[in-house]
Amino acid sequence: MAEPRNIWTFRGGLHLDDHKAVSTGRTIEPASIPERLVLPLQQHIGQAAEVLVKPGDPVGKGQLIARASDYVSASIHAPTSGKIVAVEQRPVAHPSGLSDHCIIMDSDGEDTWGELPPAWPDYTERSAAELRERIRWAGVVGLGGAVFPTAVKVNTSGQRAIDTLIINGAECEPYISCDDALMRAHPEDILDGIAILRHIIGAHECLIGIEDNKPEAIEALRHAIETRGERDIEVVVVPTLYPSGGEKQLIKLLTGREVPTNSLPASVGVLCQNVATAVTVANAVLHGRPLIERIVTVTGQGIRQPGNYRALIGTSADRLVAKAGGYSEHIHQLIFGGPMMGFSLRSDQVPITKATNCLLAASQAEAPNNDPERPCIRCGECARVCPVQLLPQQMLWHTRAHDFDKVQDFHLFECIECGCCAYVCPSHIPLVQYYRFAKTAIWTQEREREKSDLARRRHEARQTRLERIEAERKARLRKKKEALEKKPAAQDDDPKKAAIEAAMQRVAAKKAAQQNPEPAGKD
Amino acid sequence: MEFATGSSPHKIGPQNVTRVMGMVLLALVPGTLAMWWYFGWGVLINLMIAVTAAVVAEAAVMSLRGRDARPVLLDLSAVVTAWLLALALPPLLPWWQTVLGSMFAIVVVKQLFGGIGYNPFNPAMAGYVLLLVSFPVTMTRWLPPDVVSGQALSLADSLHIIFSGTPPLGQTWDTLSSATPLDQMRSELSENRMISEIRQSPLWGDFGGRGWEWIGNWFLLGGLFLLWRRVINWRIPASMLGSLLLVSGLFWAIDPETHPFPAFHLFSGAAILGAFFIATDPVSASTTPKGQLIYGALIGLFVFIIRTWGGYPDAVAFSVLLLNMAAPTIDYYTQPRVFGQRKHDDA
């Protein structure tokens, strides 16, 4: 290997205890098939999928049961063979604890594949559009946690040419080790996915970014690259500094390029994909298999056998916990995701989704309930650790004042909610919570504004319509009037006048006749 | 099974306000002990009086506001304020003046603005300035360091002076007190004496007043501890002392007989204490990286200006209060560039 690549840096970030060894001790456990699966229609960013089945329908493993309803949407497939039971609201993993539309199916235990599209080992013969369509069919979304539809992300037409594909294996959040486990066990599949992605986007170089706390994964991938004689793929080791796995942070680390505010990585010629997403792409193209399972790290002091477990999408969280030996007596919080960015669940009766990279059964010490918030002493630690170089204090100040225009002046929407600021705050202010509140308040305001804009436009349209109708009516009346006025003028004034005159003459004659009788009588 | 819920991040760091303030107090210990060594018991008595008054005042305001006083007192911020104020006071100040200054700092400057985090001015320095303009005689009646006077006041004598307000039998204020080196430098310069002449006096050490010049080192030690523990960052102390050195060095280079050399400025008065402990008060200081450099540098500049041409011998308190007023504006114009934001692309 050539001399080590230059690593850039980003400002801020935190050195955290990674707690990853807790879950990397054992190999990945294969998935088991639960009797019942609950598949939310909304597991991704964008529109919810559109249901294609009805209760009672038999389905084969891998059968499309809900299709992408829009360009930004993702399909959902049956994770095993069985029968659809219902399509209804069920509790899902969401910070609100609310229910959402789900397809519920019972497995038949046979696990027989349904009809699948052909495998394309010769994918280089296929066009980028065909491959994107395959990825879209397979319901592939970003498995690092953002769950953005991959088919949309790899469609870079109309944008700047992509020269670099970045594969994100940084996995910077403490406790989570599912990507680490995948890289150790299946480096070949990752390389397959990389080859397909490069074919689609035409990137001549590929960089795999991995934090230096995963030596086994780094070794496994380097070994695989060497054995296959791959060129222009390089494993780049980055220092363990949360949040190095943030998309824009990783791009900066590996290429020195800063993705401009309000822009996508494509604007600097980069496309970023998670390692697990690359493997799913490979499965979809090389084997014609959809995304129906993923690796989930089940860890924390609240679990008896922490480790990495494969799980069918739709498996209930409590079942996965049971597989991991159940809860220990230390269980305090159950967190979907990691300790920095995950959200806590009230109940474990919710399904694993494409977004579930980790189930953290945390003890009181690992996830203390938030201490009472104290006033900000303006120490500035939050600004020092912010990887986006925001001014968290000022944002907090304006959020508290509900001055949402000001918060946006301080670049609220560049906040990636990594939690570094809240972690270091000596006053224990839940800063991220404030920013989430400000963001949703602004979205609500925007929706309201759109609504009122629409109402105003409708009102204005109605007003113009009424005015037009009124104007038309007036025009019609005027025409009529004009027509009426014109008629007598044009035909004749004379007959009337003549008649009147005649009548007057007759009256005069009568009068004359009446006055005359006397003389007449005298006659 | 139902689980506890909370908002991310679920794990937070070990830092808290009490710890930060405790660290500041710890860092003040060596300098405080040095002052006790050179100026006697008065220093510690002032400290006790000021801290007691501050804590009582804070508790009283909290109960008036109908809030729980415990967490507020436990954050130790009132103790830090009182401690800093006490260090700025002459060792034999009448007790009630210390109480007044301490209470003013807590009640008016801190709590009336909303308590910790909301005060626009540094409470300790505002308390000090109130006393300085109200009681100019007692506030400038400093003791000579023991190394100069060769005698130390006993604890009983110190208590007697502080609580009765009169010197012990057989002594007068003139025999007890002496001007501070800054004061002396100033008054003798105004009599058109040369610096080389002034420094002939046995009161003078290597670069400042004897005794006085070493206290700064002990505060410096505490300041370095705070830097090491990352309670403060280097920007404000470095820029403040740097600009003080630079400006005083410039004038000294032009005319060394009428402008004291830079080290004198550094090791006299409250320059080092101010740079590490007072100007760095996060609440009233600038918070952006660039802003902190400007803030510190301007404090250093004002210290030199007021010391050289102003009406008071020392100037740290005034300079800090002046820049407290400017801090929000400095912050506004020195916002850091957000990740991915192009230059000259500021909204």
pLDDT in tens, A383-421: 999 999 999 999 999 999 999 999 999 999 999 999 999
Q: Is the pLDDT of residue A522 over 60?
A: no
Single out the residue of A114, A157, A129, A378 nearest to residue B281, CA to CA: A378
What is the per-residue pLDDT across A193-228, written as a single tens digit (0 to 9) for each?
999 999 999 888 999 999 999 999 999 999 999 999
In angstroms, the CA B284 to CA B122 distance is 6
* Interface mutation target, options A374, A394, A396, chain B, most CBs of B under 10 Å: A374
Which residue has 């793929």 as its token pair? A233
pLDDT of residue B110: 95
Please tell me which of the candidates A368, A377, A424 has its beta carbon nearest to residue B283: A377
Q: Given an 8 Å threshold on Cβ–Cβ distance, is A367 in contact with B19?
A: no
* Rounded Cα gap, residues A444 and A450, in angstroms: 10
Read off the pLDDT of residues A261-283 as tens digits, 9 standing for 90 and up.
Answer: 888 888 899 999 999 999 999 99
Among chain B residues, CA nearest to A330: B3
What confidence category does residue A520 fall into, taking pLDDT thresholds of 50, 70 and 90? very low
Q: Which residues pair with A99 in a beta bridge?
A: A91
Q: Are A208 and A278 in contact (CB under 8 A)?
A: no
Is B328 in the A-facing interface, judged by CB distances under 8 Å?
A: no
Q: How much is the pLDDT for A239?
A: 92
Tell me the chain B residues in contact with residue A380 when contact means C-beta distances shorter than 8 Å. 233, 282, 287-288
| Fold category of A36-323 in CATH | Rossmann fold (3.40.50)
Residue pairs between chains A and B whose CB atoms are closer than 8 Å: 161
Q: How many CB atoms lie within 10 A of CB B189?
A: 17
- pLDDT tens digits for range A25-70: 888 888 889 999 999 999 998 899 999 999 999 999 999 999 998 8
Distance CA A349, CA A104 (A): 13
Q: Are B317 and B125 in contact (CB under 8 A)?
A: yes
Beta carbons of B336 and A388 less than 8 Å apart: no
Give pLDDT tens digits along chain B (347 positions). Answer: 788 888 888 888 888 899 999 999 999 999 999 999 888 899 999 999 999 999 999 999 999 999 898 888 999 999 999 999 999 999 889 999 999 999 999 999 999 999 999 999 999 999 999 999 999 888 888 887 776 666 778 888 888 888 888 887 777 777 777 777 777 777 777 777 777 777 777 777 777 777 777 888 899 999 999 999 989 999 999 999 999 999 999 999 998 888 888 888 888 888 999 999 999 999 999 999 999 999 999 999 999 999 888 878 778 999 999 999 999 999 999 988 898 887 554 43
Give the pLDDT of residue A204. 87
- Across the interface, whether the CB atoms of A332 and B3 are under 8 A apart is answered yes
Please report residues of B whose CB lies closer than 8 A to that of A440: none
Question: What φ, ψ does residue B99 adopt, rounded to 5°?
Answer: -60, -45
- In percent, the amount of chain A with pLDDT more than 90 equals 71
Residue-level pLDDT at A491: 54
* Mean of the per-residue pLDDT values of chain A: 90
The answer to whether residue B5 neighbours chain A at the CB level (below 8 Å) is: yes
Q: Which of residues 117-146 of B touch A (CB under 8 A)?
A: 117-118
State how far the Cα of A207 lies from the Cα of A364, in Å rounded to an integer: 39
Listing DSSP states for A255-286 in one string gives H-PPPPTT--GGGGTEEEEEHHHHHHHHHHHH
Q: Please, which residues have CB within 8 angstroms of residue A238's CB and are 6 or more apart in sequence?
A: A7, A170, A209, A210, A211, A212, A244, A250, A253, A254
pLDDT digits (tens, 9 = 90+) for A127-186: 989 999 999 999 999 998 889 999 998 888 777 788 999 999 999 999 999 999 999 999
Query: What's the pLDDT tens digit per position in A364-383?
Result: 888 887 678 899 999 889 99
- A90 alpha-carbon distance from chain centroid: 20
Give the pLDDT of residue B346: 43
Rounded CA separation A325/A345 (Å) = 19
Domain assignments of chain A as residue spans, ordered by start:
36-323, 374-469
Q: How far is the C-alpha of B317 from the C-alpha of A30, rounded, in Å?
A: 69
Match 């924390």 to its residue by tokens: A300
Q: Which of A327-336, A499-508, B141-150, B332-341 bottoms out in mean pLDDT, i.e. has the lowest? A: B141-150
* Predicted pLDDT at A1: 46
- Nearest CA of chain A to the CA of B73: how many Å? 12
Give tens-digit pLDDT for A343-356: 999 999 999 999 99
> B262-266, long-range: CB within 8 Å, 24+ apart, which pairs?
B263/B207, B263/B208, B264/B181, B264/B185, B264/B207, B264/B208, B265/B303, B265/B304, B265/B307, B266/B207, B266/B216, B266/B241
Contacts of A429 in chain B (CB under 8 A): none
Q: Among B1, B11, B17, B293, pick the best mutation site for testing chain A contact (most A Cβ within 10 A).
A: B11
Q: Which residues 6+ apart lie within 8 Å of A211 measured at CB?
A: A170, A171, A172, A237, A238, A239, A240, A241, A244, A245
Label residue A372 exposed, middle or buried (CB < 10 Å: 0-12, 13-18, 19+).
exposed
3-state helix, strand, coil in chain A (%, to 5): 40, 20, 40
pLDDT of the residue at A489: 56
- Residue contact A372–B338, C-beta within 8 A: no
Chain B residue numbers touching A22 (CB-CB < 8 A): none
